[in-house]
Amino acid sequence: MSGNVNAKGTGRSSGTRVLLRMSGGFLSLCLNIVIYVVLIYFLIKAVHVSYDYAYRIFGDVAVEESPGRNVKIQILKGESTMNIATKLETNKLILDKYSFFIKVQLGNLASGSDDESGSKKKYDIKGGTYILNTSMNYNEILEMITDAKNSIEGEVTVEDIEASP
């Protein structure tokens, strides 16, 4: 037998085995710390994004400070909420069309209905031409476009636009 083989036959001294075991444990600990730090970072980032998005839906958010600028918007009778939200976003009246869409849908869902047809909506957007301001928040915009009296021109339907040459 050779002199450098230990009782287990590995050829390593007990000091070397202890050192390997310790360095393996240290590397495992470092790897776990890195994994947890990365997970915590992404968790914090996800919470931040979720908070910002929820604040856009439920908070008092406007694109610009007062006085802002006036923008003329035409909403067609029968136009989808997503198309209206896209128009508002394109004209820089809202920050995000999806948060506006969700706000309208949640408001309509929460309002329920008073009659059998289920036609009562909290945000029943009326067709017409409106003057909106970039300093208006979502609630102020919805207050304007859900009341036909705020329209500066007559109502135009989607069918009228499609039928025109």
Coil, strand, or helix at residue 22? Answer: helix
Residues 91 and 32 in one domain: no
Structure confidence at residue 45 (pLDDT): 97
Q: How many residues does the chain have?
A: 165
CB atoms inside a 10 Å sphere around CB 155: 16
Q: Tokens 């869409």 sit at which residue?
A: 101
Higher pLDDT, 21 or 70: 70
Structure confidence at residue 159 (pLDDT): 62
The pTM score is 0.68
Contact 121, 112 (CB under 8 A): no
Contact 130, 150 (CB under 8 A): yes
| Residue ranges making up the domain that contains 52 | 1-58
Compute the average pLDDT of residues 34-39: 97
Residues 21 and 84 in one domain: no
Does residue 64 sit within a domain?
no
Rg of the chain in Å (alpha carbons):
31
Residue type for 73, please?
A: I
Compute the average pLDDT of residues 120-128: 83
Compute the average pLDDT of residues 87-111: 92
Domain containing residue 112: CATH number:
3.30.1490.480
Residues 51 and 82 in one domain: no
Total domains present in the chain: 2
